[in-house]
Chain A
Amino acid sequence: MSPRHISAALLDDDEDFPMVGVAAPDLNFGVDHPPETLLQQLVRHWLNERHAPDILPVQAEVLGALLDHIRRQTDTVQALRGDPDTSEAEHARIMLVQTEVERVKFVVRSYIRTRLYKALQIEKFARYIVATSEVQEKLSQAELDHARRFAQLTENHFQASVLQSLPPHQQGLEDNTPFTPPMISGPDKSRAVFVHARDECPPVRLPDGTTMQMQKGQIVLTPYAVVEQLLAMGSVELI
């Protein structure tokens, strides 16, 4: 568990703000972050996911906790709405809470959909995922199942529409020919991304051999592969 997860777990997850009056022990090992709420964490991962060319590890804990939170909020709202003693002012507040819940759901939905489909797509790389075991660890079980089914589905479709009519020699889906792109497409990690440093970062090596050290708050444009590690550590975010 990373320090971030531990400090996040210390927050009372029924509230959107850190518990007041409880001095959280410094588990950030000198890294100075204001504690993030679950939603802030998800928004950060959501943006990272939308900007990164590669598939990032699934944030199952954040997602699960947030979904629990949504469920509890919805139950409370239902109970209060059904209660005849609820005052007019409280109804107005309930309205705000409901709107907020809808907006949080939007982010959750977009996060899931982004992973599934939009920018880097479990589906787009389905065959790459099925063939690459270290990528599989980054996916949730449901995502992995879907990727497997989808890879099978596209293969069947190609088989039925094209390959079965070709001579036996030409039916493979994994031709490896020099000077042509591979048939299983994976993420392009050399794609440029905008990176915002959340901390003082350890130096990283650029493709030309020089090193770069980012100060806190600095924004740079760099190939994704350069900051891949920093992103996994949470020292940077993509914007």
Chain B
Amino acid sequence: MTSSGSRQFGDLATQLVQESRRSTLTDTLLKYNDSLVRTVIREQRNLEDLINKAIAAQPDDAAFTGDEPALLLYQTAILRNKRCLLAYHAHRIDRLRDMYWALGAALPALLADNNDLRTRLSPHEVDFLREYNASVMDFRGDFSSELDIASSVTHPPRDLHALVRVIRDCGVIQTELGSIDFRKGQRFMVRRADIEHLIVQGYLEEV
């Protein structure tokens, strides 16, 4: 505050929220802004110090009314910054969950090396995804015998079978016709339910 002249309380936190907004508008997940988060947290500590000083500066004999203007200002700034910080993190989690489900609840594919997502996450967010995945797996296990709740819910199936082309090798997969070794460039007519997750994850492509 003192170092940067015209900056007001809460300016930095507003930047955080703007980043979330940009991320929504461009439908991307921006890199976790560690330095900005840290700076806002530092501002919070400064504000706390200012509050403590203001309280200490009050004459001992005066009854503490709590409506000291400076105190009110600091307190409002603290609450606002805190909400912005939490909103920034909550928004990122929401986006991560969207991406996770869009890939058919496949965590390895989401965090795979060929996907640069991982570099944009904070370590805590990676932990979050892991634990979230574990919880979803538990939930999914309750239905596993009849259906896989993680498969796509965007388009209802029209045909039982699909003609697919292999884009990336994905090894031997068990299907209704027995096991098939999917090699790049090949085409197969297979039961949709058997390979839908491979389409979602980008191994196969419908022709």
Contacting residues, chain B, for A47 (C-beta < 8 A): none
Whether the pair A162, B149 counts as a contact (CB closer than 8 A) is: no
Min CB gap A79→B, angstroms: 15
Whether the pair B78, A170 counts as a contact (CB closer than 8 A) is: yes
Binds A, one of B23-31, B59-67, B86-94: B86-94
Whether, in the assembled complex, B174 has its beta carbon less than 8 Å from a beta carbon of chain A, the answer is: no
Whether the pair B135, A153 counts as a contact (CB closer than 8 A) is: yes
Whether the pair A157, B128 counts as a contact (CB closer than 8 A) is: yes
Contacting residues, chain A, for B44 (C-beta < 8 A): 166-167, 170
Q: Assess A106 versus B153: contact at CB under 8 Å? Given A170-B78, A175-B79.
A: yes
Whether the pair B79, A153 counts as a contact (CB closer than 8 A) is: no
> Scoring A residues 64 to 97 as 1 if CB is less than 8 Å from chain B, else 0, what string do you get?
0001001100000000000000000000000100
How many chain A residues sit at the interface, stated as a range, is: 35 or more
The prevalent SS among residues of B at the interface is: helix
CB contact between B136 and one of A109, A146, A175 (< 8 Å): that residue: A146
Min CB gap A104→B, angstroms: 9
Contacting residues, chain B, for A167 (C-beta < 8 A): 44-45, 48
Min CB gap B174→A, angstroms: 15
Within 8 A of A (CB), among B118-143: 122, 124-125, 127-128, 131-132, 135-136, 138-139, 142-143
Contacting residues, chain A, for B78 (C-beta < 8 A): 170
Min CB gap A18→B, angstroms: 24
Min CB gap B35→A, angstroms: 13
Whether the pair B149, A113 counts as a contact (CB closer than 8 A) is: yes
Contacting residues, chain B, for A58 (C-beta < 8 A): none
Whether, in the assembled complex, A110 has its beta carbon less than 8 Å from a beta carbon of chain B, the answer is: yes
Interface centre among A108, A118, A145, A161, by most B CB within 10 Å? A161
Interface centre among B83, B90, B160, by most A CB within 10 Å? B160
What is the CA–CA distance of A142 and B193 in the complex, to the nearest angstrom? 24
Min CB gap B43→A, angstroms: 11
Whether, in the assembled complex, B113 has its beta carbon less than 8 Å from a beta carbon of chain A, the answer is: no
Q: Assess A177 versus B79: contact at CB under 8 Å? Given A110-B153, A145-B138, A146-B135.
A: yes
Show the binding face of A for B, using Cβ within 8 Å: 67, 70-71, 95, 98-99, 102-103, 105-110, 112-113, 116-118, 123, 142-143, 145-146, 149-150, 153-154, 156-158, 160-162, 165-167, 169-170, 175, 177, 180, 183
Q: What are the nearest 3 A-B pairs in CB distance?
A: A167-B48, A149-B135, A110-B153
Show the binding face of B for A, using Cβ within 8 Å: 37-38, 41, 44-45, 48, 78-79, 82-83, 85-86, 89-90, 93, 97, 101, 122, 124-125, 127-128, 131-132, 135-136, 138-139, 142-143, 145-149, 151, 153, 156-157, 159-160, 192-193
Q: What are 24 inter-chain pairs, A to B, with CB distance below 8 A?
A: A67-B146, A95-B160, A98-B160, A99-B160, A103-B156, A103-B157, A106-B156, A108-B146, A108-B147, A109-B147, A109-B149, A113-B149, A117-B97, A143-B139, A145-B139, A146-B136, A157-B93, A158-B89, A161-B37, A161-B124, A161-B125, A162-B41, A162-B82, A166-B44
